[in-house]
Amino acid sequence: MTFHIINGPNLNLLGKREPEIYGNSTFEDYFVTLQRDFKMCELHYFQSNHEGAIIDHLHNIGFSSDGIVFNPGAYTHTSVALADAIAAISSLVIEVHISNTFARESFRHHSYVSPVAKGIIVGLGLDGYRLALQYLYTKHYC
Ligand code: CA2
């Protein structure tokens, strides 16, 4: 079982800035705990600050991955191109947001990605990624 996690712009700063919103852990450290907890799966992590690079990556993995956990960062609220890429691939995509975007500025309340995602996990911190993987794993095995 191969799952992919994709983080969008600025999420490389996790654990380094704004801990009151995004927590203290870097994603690289958190990813190690996910790999330990999902030993039975092959997990891959990709982060980019560039929309086109994320789209290329979705095209590359989106017909073979058993599931994609995707936090598009601020592109969530702006990118028709990302939504089109997700609609074009066959792998299941779960949209995850660390913060509760609905409790924040109104421009964060709309997502171009949500309509083309299988489901959405919002506001549960980094646990959202774990819960999304748990869902994907259960869906394939139970
Ligand atoms: O809550 C989320 O996961 C977001 O996708 C994070 C995006 C934001 O634009 C979305 O509205 C919600 C921002 C990511 C910025 O990440 C940082 C992490 C640490 C320090 C500074 C920024």
- The span from the CA of 101 to the CA of 87, in Å, is 22
Active-site residue, selected from the candidate residues 4, 22, 75, 112: 22
This prediction has a pTM of: 0.97
Query: Measured in angstroms, how far is the CA atom of residue 64 from the centroid of ligand 1?
Result: 28
Q: Are 132 and 94 in contact (CB under 8 A)?
A: yes
Q: Are 127 and 97 in contact (CB under 8 A)?
A: no
Structural domains in the chain, sorted by start: 2-141 (3.40.50.9100)
- pLDDT tens digits for the chain (142 residues)? 999 999 999 999 999 888 888 888 999 999 999 999 999 999 999 999 999 999 999 999 999 999 999 999 999 999 999 999 999 999 999 999 999 999 999 999 999 999 999 999 999 999 999 999 999 999 887 6
Return the ligand 1 atom nearest residue 97 CA.
3
Closest to 104 measured CA to CA, from 24, 26, 18: 18
Q: Atom 6 (ligand 1): residue with closest C-alpha? A: 73
Answer yes or no: 22 catalytic: yes
For residue 26, CA distances in Å to 10, 30, 40, 122 come to: 12, 6, 23, 19
